[in-house]
Amino acid sequence: MKKLFLAIALVFGAVTANAQDVGQIWVGGNVGFSTTKIKGFDRMTDYTILPEFGYVLNENFGIGVNLGYSHQEALDVDGMGDIFVTNQKGFAIAPFVRYTFLKGDIGGLFLDGGVKYINSKEKGAGDRLHEFEVGITPGVAISISDKVSLIGKFGFLGYSQGKSGDHYKTETFELGLNMNQFSLGVNLIF
């Protein structure tokens, strides 16, 4: 419920947002961390580092790229029913084009359209996991000052594919504006 109220506040504030000046560069992104303790298992820790770099082309368009690293631990079950902890590390690169609209005094709404490639490997496993994604992510930018903006992104519309060696392949089409894919970050504008 807190996430829903935060999203409504961000959208409400963004309807009166101000555009960045042409030729400006932004640097930002987000960092995530979580830890889980499950009785009978060691503590599991996940973290993500996702810097973002971009350039404002004109009043409505910018280009950018996300570069990221993630470390995830999760419970898994083998073929004999034994439960164990998996450890997966990966790298992602995601170039995008940002279209900003509904701009006002303190921010604006935007759509990021782009592609993402993720290369990860589970500790002890032989094959690498290759994931490819193409789609649109909606978001909101709220200007804290002339040089700092809060960025909120939520949902995804697009296609993704994952493949690991010859044994595993997935294809997914997704249309969702849900808070399960919510991220909050900060951008510095130069």
pLDDT at res. 78: 65
pLDDT tens, residue by residue, 42-85: 777 888 888 999 999 998 999 999 999 988 777 666 667 666 66
Q: Where are the beta strands (DSSP E) in the chain?
A: 25-36, 44-56, 61-77, 83-101, 107-122, 128-143, 148-153, 156-164, 168-176, 183-189
CATH architecture of 2-189: Beta Barrel (2.40)
Query: Helix, strand or coil for residue 180?
Result: helix
Contact between 12 and 5 (Cβ < 8 Å)? no
pLDDT tens, residue by residue, 95-150: 999 999 998 888 899 999 999 998 988 777 767 888 899 999 999 999 999 899 99
pLDDT at res. 138: 93
Write out the two tokens for 32. Answer: 């995530």
Where are the chain's structural domains? Answer: 2-189
More confident residue, 7 or 180: 180
β-bridge mates for residue 93, sequence order: 67, 117
Say whether pLDDT at 187 is over 80. yes
Contacts of 30 (CB under 8 A, 6+ apart): 48, 50, 52, 151, 183, 184, 185, 186
Say whether pLDDT at 19 is over 50. no
What is the average pLDDT across 144-162? 91
Distance in angstroms (rounded) separating the CA atoms of residues 23 and 16? 22
Query: Helix, strand or coil for residue 144?
Result: coil
More confident residue, 63 or 8: 63
Residue 9 backbone dihedrals phi, psi, to 5 degrees: -65, -40
What is the average pLDDT across 168-180? 79
Distance in angstroms (rounded) separating the CA atoms of residues 52 and 62? 12
pTM summary value: 0.76
